[in-house]
A and B are shown apart, each in its own frame.
Chain A
């Protein structure tokens, strides 16, 4: 029973992952700093999911990356591209719409009308 719940919860989370990551990349972040920011906000993300996800976002040109070698150890920074920002805004609106819809469903106060 609980494993079923786990799998559904994971599935729900997975859908929001890209949005959560994109939201934090308006300022440049490197892998581990992103983990910390997300964790601080209560979003736990599997690190083995996050790093591949970042690369995928880069490949889709939603984020750009650059190596910073000035510090003690080299770090790869990711930041939203213009295109990424645009997609993020749209996705954010979709999310808002979706939560509203779901909220009314979950609270059960939908006015049942025949179309």
Chain B
């Protein structure tokens, strides 16, 4: 007797309030129908066994789905997650990189700062990903429950039912031509770092002297910040151009001839601008050369020669890298 009521309770507590009473009554009379007269507990057990797990029975009474995100919206859900996650990572990383560069005072060693910031960045990215995952999932659960789509067909990523017309907007990109999202995100981070270093060169790029407690002491900047900053309109222009180029790459998703040409022009121009800036004799802090000469016990002229060689080597490397990149972009565009 008690077993029957307990079983019914176990079923109905999982059901909506308004249908509980009716289902309970029906189940009770049905179970009693199944039992012989003067039944024993064993008989009850046997019949309840037939009805099976109360949770399963309750689930088949319920009309609402047993899943959180069903096949109808699953595709759109995965697409949204994939779309948001790279940007979430990018923005989080960028915010932290900017923060640690701005807060950098030179009191701690660069290595320490890099290690510490990396830890913070990884932590924040994980937190952001959890947040993104949670909120996107919440939104899609609501869509699933409320049934924002009026059709029974699965939602496509555009939020409407599929039709053969959709095929027209699909561009098949050969694997070798693809510009990956990672590449673009890396590009953004790269621009961000260079921009920040440029505008903060007076307390970032310099000669450091190691001090007793393992930290580094900032001795002097390598560049004349006011000379460096006279070029700011050029730098800002190039930052904007590079960002535009990245957005163009993101939009195109693959290498094309117009993109390869734009890429060539912008990158060549930026390397020329770099040469022009480097060529300015007033760019370098005049105190640097005597300082070095003093340390390595040689005269200023040979230090200057060495520095010149370093710059030439740097310029040649840059040009070679650029040529290789341009060649590669055209090769990919041709495929």
Interface residues of A (CB under 8 A from B): 30-33, 46-49, 51-52, 55-56, 59, 67, 73-76
Contact = CB atoms under 8 A, between A and B. Distances in A.
A32 B36 CA distance: 13
Nearest 7 CB-CB pairs, A to B?
A: A32-B33, A52-B60, A31-B30, A48-B57, A52-B61, A48-B52, A76-B26
Secondary structure call for the A interface? helix
Contacts, number: 48
Contacts of A74: 25, 29
A48 B56 contact: yes
Contacts of A33: 33
A51 B27 contact: yes
A31 B22 CA distance: 13
A23 B33 CA distance: 22
B34 interface: yes
A55 B27 CA distance: 12
A51 B26 contact: yes
B10 interface: no
Interface in B15-68: 19, 22-23, 25-27, 29-30, 32-34, 50-52, 56-57, 60-61, 63
A108 B33 CA distance: 46
B50 A76 contact: no
Contacts of A31: 26, 29-30, 33
A46 B27 CA distance: 14
A53 B154 CA distance: 25
Contact of A30 (B22, B29, B56): B29
A35 B283 CA distance: 95
A32 B30 contact: yes
B60 A49 contact: yes
A24 to B, nearest CB: 16
A14 to B, nearest CB: 12
Contacts of A51: 26-27, 30, 57, 61
Given A55-B61, A76-B25, A48 B51 contact: yes
Contacts of A46: 52
B23 to A, nearest CB: 8
B25 A32 contact: no
A44 B248 CA distance: 65
A46 B52 CA distance: 9
B8 to A, nearest CB: 12
Contacts of A47: 30, 34, 50-51
